[in-house]
Every structure is written in structure tokens, then in C-alpha cells.
Amino acid sequence: MGSSEVSIIPGLQKEEKVAVERRRLHVLKALKKLHIEADEAPVVAVLGSGGGLRAHIACLGVLSEMKEQGLLDAVTYLAGVSGSTWAISSLYTNDGDMEALEADLRHRFSRQEWDLAKSLQKTIQAARSENYSLTDFWAYMVISKQTRELPESHLSNMKKPVEEGTLPYPIFAAIDNDLQPSWQEAKAQETWFEFTPHHAGFPALGAYVSITHFGSKFKKGRLVRTHPERDLSFLRGLWGSALGNAEVNRNYIFDQLRNLLTLRGDVWRRTVANAKYIGRRIFAPLLRLQQSLQRERPVLEDEGGEPNYNWLTEMLENWTRTSLEKQEQPDEDPESKGSVSDFLDFVRKTSICASKWEWGTTHNFLYKHGGIRDKTMSSRRHLHLVDAGLAINTPFPLVLPPTREVHLILSFDFSAGDPFETIRATTDYCRRHKIPFPHVEEAKLDLWSKAPASCYILKGETGPVVMHFPLFNTDACGDDIEAWSDTYDTFKLADTYTLDVVRPLLALAKMNVRENKKKILREMRNAAMKDHWDKMRLKSCGKHFLSSTRTEMGSSLVRIWGIS
């Protein structure tokens, strides 16, 4: 278990410092194998952008090839947004075994089915929580279907390899959706939220809580009620909650809700205890729920401005069309995960969350905290955390703070659209907050975006060097970039992803790493040399400062005390 107190400490958390220091030893060994001599290990960060399943599969390809080429062992930080977080978290649940990870990917996409009953069980169970939101539904009913997996492990389970330094330190990005107005107006740094195997919190505030207590209830900086640590399935849903715009997401959710009442009998038996005559027991309460929502609750409106409860109406119509054989299932073991009342409560809560469009609800661990001056942060009882891609579709803001001392950033962009939009957005963010970041003229970015190459090296007078790798590029795709983008559209459902679709994408991502290995090694070598000379200059400045200080102190003592 982690600390039961809120930590407000500028700079890195103690656990991260120790883990990164241990990682340095492994990085130095890896650099030596790559024929790069270094006294000090440069800090290299690999970033993965969002992009749904496309990003998930491509990021796996990048990690796999970096491991194959000996490059991943020289990386200190791995950070991701949205679909890339699914790939990065999989690296740790497989203990860094890329062969096992690829075998698992092939297994998942060689079959079309997913375990609907188990996903529904998890969703119904989550609906018992006071902080249930659409993120729970999205995680267990949509993302689990997209990725065809339902991991039950936790972020804290990743501590061992991270603390031993055998794997890079992972950072998973989200944003505080309640601060979206501040982000739109001023690109507020406080908007960004991060998760690691040790902590969760706001890096701009230096405010964190132990990852094992994320979701628990705090007041005035103290733990007042413990909740179980959220599993990776939920967190993946939170990190990847923006596969599309609101309309696309709404359709995903409502499609799942519409289909719930046409489930096969075996799914009902695995999900609901004592399911006999379930049709007669559910239909009337659902009808009352529809009437209640129409009468009392705020509603989503369709394009014509009319209340939109079509999905619930269709649920009821589907149910009336379902055969008696499906509706009236035999009794099932009462020790099953849910009950009829649990199911109804789940539908009710999901309906209310959909009507309010409520996502990512969790207890605010900064509630009533006296050490936080900003009342916007400490007055709210709840946070609403969502996909960081709604701000910037790659996690630059989490690795750019000087406390992480990153020298080289490998930015893998899995966007289907303009692969330089993340560079534009990050440039604007850094300009507003005076953060060193390579500046590229807008005209040059426009030119690059028309026919992107596989690698761009961006350098500024200060700050880290950025290597930017567009997934779909002319070097690998030739003139067919648009065709590749259409094939791997962000909004494309998992049903269309077969092995024949997955393999080319995986191969493309690997090729982008392999073909740019020499460039990556060159920049790693430059970073190692720069880090060495920077430390030499600091040491030299320190000696000069001490010498000057001693001389000035000596002169002062003579003047004041007559000491010679």
C-alpha cells in the first residue's frame, strides 16, 4: 500500500527518482552494446500518440522493433496518450517480453469474438460505485471489445521491473476535463494529469496521491475512505476515452445499450443470478425508467432539438421482439456476479450519465487541501479525467518539465491526419509557458505535412532534441498515404481488424524504426556527449563559484574582524 497522505512536492517523487537512477545503470550498459561511450546516461523519452487501435498496434510494433534493435534498453521514459497507453501497459503486463506480446496480439486478432458476459459483469459491478460514469461503461463494454482483452492487473503491479530499472519508467497521460475552458483559453498546465506505477496527480502542481489510493476519498490531504485500486481495464478506458468526437462516442455507447436486451441465453446465465422469467421482470422497470428519464432528467438532444431517448425505446422494442426462449432463462447459480436489480441499476446509472454526458468521475484528492492556493483545484469534490488527446494528442507536456531532465525525445505520431498537428500544439503550449522546445516555421510544417518523410530531427538553442516519426510517410507508403489512412481509420471498429489487417500495420511501424536506426543512434550519441559537457561546465562553474565565494568571504572577514 502507498502513503495515505497527499504529496505536494515540487520536482520528482522519491520513488521515481530512485527508479530512474536504477535505470541509468541499465541504459549505460545498453549504450555500450550500441557502441556509444558515455560517462553519464542521457535521458531518452519515447512518446506514443493517440489514434485508437491504429495507435495500439503501431505502438506495439515500435516497441517491438526498438527492443529487437537494442534501442529500447537505452530509453529512460515511455509515455503515451490514448491508444498508445494500451500498448505501453501491455509491455509491462508481459514483463517486457516482446515475443509474448506479439503472440498475444496475433491470438487476440485471429478470433472475432470477445467475452461479452465477463465485460457486462465488470460493468454491472462498476455501476455499484458512487462514482460510476460513462468511462466505466466505455472501458468494459467498448475498449475491451476493441482490444479483445480485459486486463485485471493494476498499475502498481508494474513497480517491480520499474524499481529494478529493467524497464523504462512509464507515464500515462490524461487531462482534467473540468479545466477544459482554461485549456482552451490559456493552455493551462494544470490541465494535465499523469499516472505512473507509483503515483497519480497533477505535475504542474507537484500534487500526487499513491496510485493504490487513486479513486479513494480524501479531505484536507488525509485519506478518509479507501476504495480498491482501479484495474488496468478501467484506466485504459479513461486514457482512451476519445476514439472519436462526442457523436461517435455516443453512437458506440448507444449501440451497446440497444443490444443488451437481445443477448444470448448463455450470456444472461453468466451475468445475472436467478434469471428465470427475466423478460417479465425487466421489461416493466425499463419502461418506468424511460418514462422517468423523459420526465425528470436532462437529456441529450438530437439535431432537431428534440429529446433523444431512441436508444432506450429501441431497447424495449428489441426486448418485445426477442423470443420467449431467450427472455425466460432457467434459474442460475445465485452466486453469479450480478442480480436483476443490479442490472436495472446499471442501466439506470448509465442512462443518467449519458444524459449528463458524465465521464471520468473520481474523488478529488485535493478536496479542501490547505496547501493548494487555487480554489478551483481544492473546492471540487470530484475530478473528471478524460483522454489527453482532447488537448494534445501526444504527451509532450509530461516529459518537458526540467525536473525530468530529458535530453532526447523520440516522438512516434500515429495520427491518421496531419502528423505535425502535435508539434504545432506543443509549440504553442511551450511558447505560452516559456518551456524550451524546437521552433519550426509554420510554412515548413505545412510543406512537410503534404508529403511527410519517416523522420524529422528538430533542434532548438536549448531544451531536448525532438525526433518526430510520422507513421504514414512517403518513405514507407509512397503515394498511398491516403489509402493507408482510410484502411486504419481511427473510428474503425475492432470487428474489421483481422490478422490480415493487423500484420501490415505492425510491419510498417517496425520498418519506420529499423530504417531510422542510424539517425536514432547518432542523436543518442550526441545526447550522451552533450550531457557530458553540460555536467563538466556545471562542475567548472561550481568550482569557480566556490573559489570566488571563499575569496569574497575572506575579504569580508578582514574588513569586519581584522583577520588576515
Catalytic center residues? 82, 387
CA distance 215 to 285: 31
- How far apart CA 257 and CA 64 sit, in angstroms, is 37
Number of helices (H), then strands (E), in the chain: 24, 14
**Environment class of residue 419 by beta-carbon count within 10 Å: exposed (0-12), middle (13-18) or buried (19+)?**
buried
Size of the chain, expressed as the number of residues it contains:
564
- Residue pair 386/162 in contact by the 8 Å Cβ criterion: no
Of 240, 392, 263, nearest to 329 by C-alpha is 263
Q: What's the one-letter identity of residue 527?
A: A
Cell numbers representing residue 293 in the block: 428519464
Rounded Cα gap, residues 42 and 72, in angstroms? 13
Report how far residue 278's alpha carbon sits from residue 313's, in angstroms, rounded to the nearest whole number: 18
Q: Which residue has the cell 562542475?
A: 539
Yes or no: say if 186 and 432 are a contact pair by the CB < 8 Å rule: yes
The residue assigned the cell 559537457 is 533
**DSSP class of 301:** B
Query: Which amino acid, 482?
Result: E
- Report which secondary-structure segment, H or E, holds 237: helix 232-239
Report the distance separating Cα 236 and Cα 82, nearest Å.
Answer: 8
Grid coordinates in use for 145? 471489445
Find the angle CA(210)-CA(214)-CA(218) to the nearest 5 degrees.
90
**DSSP-based three-state secondary structure for 335:** coil
Q: At what angle do helices 246-259 and 310-321 cross, to 10 degrees?
A: 20
Q: Kindly state the cell numbers that stand for 172.
A: 500515462
3-state secondary structure of 417: coil
Q: Is 393 helix (H, G, I), strand (E, B) or coil?
A: coil
